[in-house]
Amino acid sequence: MVEDFKLEGDNISFSIVLKSNDADLKSSLNFACMEEIAKVYPQANVHIHLKINATDDDANTVLPQVKNIIAIASGKGGVGKSTISVNLAVSLANLGYKVGLIDADLYGPSIPTMMGLTGQRPKVELLYGKHKIIPLQAHGVHVISVGFIVEPEQAVVLRGPRLGGLLRQFIQDCLWPDLDYLLIDLPPGTGDIQLTLVQTVPVTGALMVTTPQEVAVIDAVKAMNMFLLTNVNVPILGVVENMSWFTPAELPENKYYIFGKGGGRKLASISNTEMVAQIPIIQSVREGGDAGVPVSAQSNSALKPLFEEMAQNVLKQLAVRHDLYEPTRIVKVQGLDTDSTKIPHHLLAYQDPVFEFNKAVIDATKDLCVAYKPNLAFYESLGPKGWKSLEKTLEYIPENIFSIADAKRGDIGNTSKMYAKTFFEYLNFDAVTVAPYMGRDSITPFLEFDDKWVIVLGLTSNEGSADFQYLRDQDGRTLYEKVITKTQEWGNPNNLMYVIGATHPETFAEIRALAKDFFFLVPGVGAQGGDMNAVFKNGKNDDIGLLVNSSRDIIYAGNGLDFQEEIRRKAQQMQKSMSDLMA
């Protein structure tokens, strides 16, 4: 937004109001404005004031040009969710709306085929010094999919933070035009993609897709309940029952209920919403999807009116949603460094105060963070009962939230192998922090486990880190630089991360250059005084690439009967700060 424009002789002054304090954006925008003015008014003296206005009332600072973001979800695969997504998008476009579609089913992207875009590649444009992806267009809809980036037969092997990073790229690094509706075709179930979505953008509402079959409805209820978690609080717009009946072309009046009856109405009743459509199994739907021409784009299709009626019903539900509910808000790594001496006194009456405290922390923050990181020392110091508290805590952490063992282990090969078995097999952590200073054979036993992450101590946040980590060799390279460079020979961005302390913001740009595609676990924000603004500015990559950790500053925010509310308040403050930086 431009404000306070003044023209006095050769002097031009105005203000540009931004919603995020992005130094690169401010600089690029400033010079771009001056360059454009100079083309038509070369003698002008230009004065530009850049103002930041990121208020709590800004519900969508990530995609401000998008009016509504609709998640299309299901509990299980094979219910025709992508077919519904494509035909809803095309139907909305047919009604005159500006529509975008993100294929967030990253493991099985089918949107390119259904939209007739197989083999096409999106263009990349340099805008204000940043590369932006231009979504492709088909049937009046702007579309992005991982299927435009990889070959059709190429397997997408990603998990955890890198999955979320790819979805964030589709949201933040695509040059989306002004849109009335952005539909997001989610993978089935609940997991990293769904969690990343609600933490990145304010989702207006979710549309649930199921078949009439009981097992499909059971799984759809679980997927639906994720959106209804406290303070995720994404309204359910409605239910689409797909494959409601089979009608053969030669007997158009006949209906054969192959998958039973009533599943859609049952799910709508459970979610206190409406069934917005029943879609039958008709051969032309499959043929249109395979040919890249959805039935909603076919003027002579008998099903086109049915999908347009579905779109109209969704619009009605959106109007109801806007009348009844406040705008949705965006939903960090939460440390569990539980010091038994700092637990609120009223919890000490429980048989396991440490677990009760952790349980309260998890309940207060599980919709605000992407990972929990128990510090093993606080449990080991309590002996066997501490390990029991840890085991119960790990069982209580929701399955879709990443778990990190803050153990900092590192020993000779055989010993490291036993440590790895403990954390990855017995305790089933997703990741573990390790000390690299005994070399390759202390790290590689951890890397041998599939679908697990090893987080190497790179440059730590403690005061004494300078004693050794900053030592330089004869070539002037620091010890931490050599560690980060050497360990990349043993792992890759899909199984290796680095601990980089937020208390060293001056080093982040240089470390990011050494490990461009790797995620950083960033401790030191909060109680240790780390600068989160500097961390984001210098440390993020195309996937954001940062897991920012805060422990003591949040979990000990209060010690009275209302400690859980204080924890949540502190976590929400940090989550908003991070959302503003990502905007």
Q: Which CATH number goes with the domain that contains 229?
A: 3.40.50.300
DSSP run (H or E) holding 218: helix 214-227
Q: Are strands 141-145 and 136-138 parallel, antiparallel or unpaired?
A: antiparallel
Compute the distance between CA of residue 180 and CA of residue 91 in angstroms, rounded to an integer. 13
Containing domain of residue 82, as a range? 66-324
Q: Which residues form the catalytic set? A: 408
- Is 173 contained in some domain? yes
**One domain, residues 346 and 304:** no
Question: Burial, 131: exposed, middle or buried (Cβ in 10 Å; 0-12, 13-18, 19+)?
Answer: exposed
Same domain assignment for residues 123 and 182? yes
pLDDT at residue 59, rounded to an integer? 47
pLDDT of 57 reads: 41
Task: Judge if 29 and 76 occupy the same domain.
Answer: no
The total of structural domains in the chain comes to 3
How many CB atoms within 10 Å of residue 159? 18
The CA-atom distances, in angstroms, between 322 and each of 268, 318, 362 are: 19, 6, 30
**pLDDT for 403:** 92
480 falls within a domain: yes
Q: Give the pLDDT confidence score for residue 334 in this predicted structure.
A: 57
Q: Please say which residue of 294, 324, 354 terminates a domain.
A: 324
Answer whether 0.85 is exceeded by the pTM: no
Residue 40, pLDDT score? 87
Q: Is residue 77 in some structural domain?
A: yes
Contact 164, 370 (CB under 8 A): yes
46 and 74 both lie in a single domain: no
The strand pairing partners of 28, in sequence order, are none
* CATH classification at residue 500: 3.20.20.70
Residues 262 and 368 both lie in one domain: no
H-helix segments, 59-159: 81-94, 111-114
| In-domain check, residue 57 | no
Q: Are residues 132 and 102 in the same domain?
A: yes
Same domain, 107 and 133: yes
> Do 312 and 352 sit in the same domain of this protein?
no
Residue 575 in any domain: the answer is: yes
Is the distance from CB of 92 to CB of 101 less than 8 angstroms?
A: no
Q: In angstroms, how far is CA 29 from the centroid of its own chain?
A: 27
Question: Same domain, yes or no, for 100 and 220?
Answer: yes
d(CA 331, CA 196): 9
Whether residue 49 contacts residue 16, with contact meaning beta carbons closer than 8 Å, is answered with yes
With respect to residue 508, please indicate whether it lies within any of the assigned structural domains: yes
Query: Angle CA(161)–CA(166)–CA(169) in degrees, nearest 5?
Result: 125
3-state SS, one letter per residue, for 326-346: CCCCCCCEEEECCCHHHCCHH
The pLDDT, as a whole number, for residue 55 is: 45
Helix, coil or strand: residue 373: strand
379: helix, strand or coil: helix
Q: Residue 489: helix, strand or coil by DSSP?
A: coil
Of 297, 324, 351, the last residue of a domain is 324
pLDDT value, residue 153 = 62
- Supply the pLDDT for residue 330: 59
Q: Which of 415, 484, 403, 469 is nearest to 446 (CA)?
A: 415
234 and 343 in a single domain? The answer is no
Residue 59 falls inside a structural domain: no
Q: State whether 102 and 170 are in the same domain.
A: yes
Residue position matching structure tokens 């939209």? 115
Which amino acid appears at position 149 of this protein?
A: I
Task: Provide the pLDDT for residue 527.
Answer: 54
CA–CA separation, 396 vs 393, rounded Å? 5
Q: Please check whether residues 507 and 433 belong to one and the same domain.
A: yes
For residue 79, tell me if it sits in a domain: yes
The one-digit pLDDT tens for each residue of the chain (583 residues) are 788 888 888 888 888 887 655 555 666 777 788 888 888 888 888 878 776 664 444 445 678 889 999 999 998 888 999 999 999 999 999 999 999 999 988 777 889 999 999 889 999 888 766 788 999 999 999 999 988 877 666 665 555 556 667 788 888 889 999 999 999 999 888 777 787 788 788 899 999 999 999 888 998 898 888 888 765 778 899 999 999 999 887 887 888 998 999 899 999 988 888 999 999 988 888 888 899 999 999 988 888 999 999 999 999 999 988 887 777 665 545 556 667 777 887 787 788 889 999 999 998 888 888 889 999 998 998 889 899 999 999 999 988 888 999 999 989 989 999 999 999 999 999 999 999 989 999 999 999 998 899 999 999 888 788 888 888 888 888 999 999 999 999 999 989 999 998 877 778 888 888 998 899 998 877 555 667 777 788 777 777 788 888 777 788 888 777 888 888 888 888 877 777 776 6
Distances (CA, A) of 581 to 92, 241, 254, 366: 33, 39, 57, 21
Place of tokens 């059971």: 218
Going through 382-467 in order, the beta strands assigned E by DSSP cover: 402-409, 431-434, 453-459
Q: State the alpha helices, DSSP H only, in 257-303.
A: 263-270, 283-291
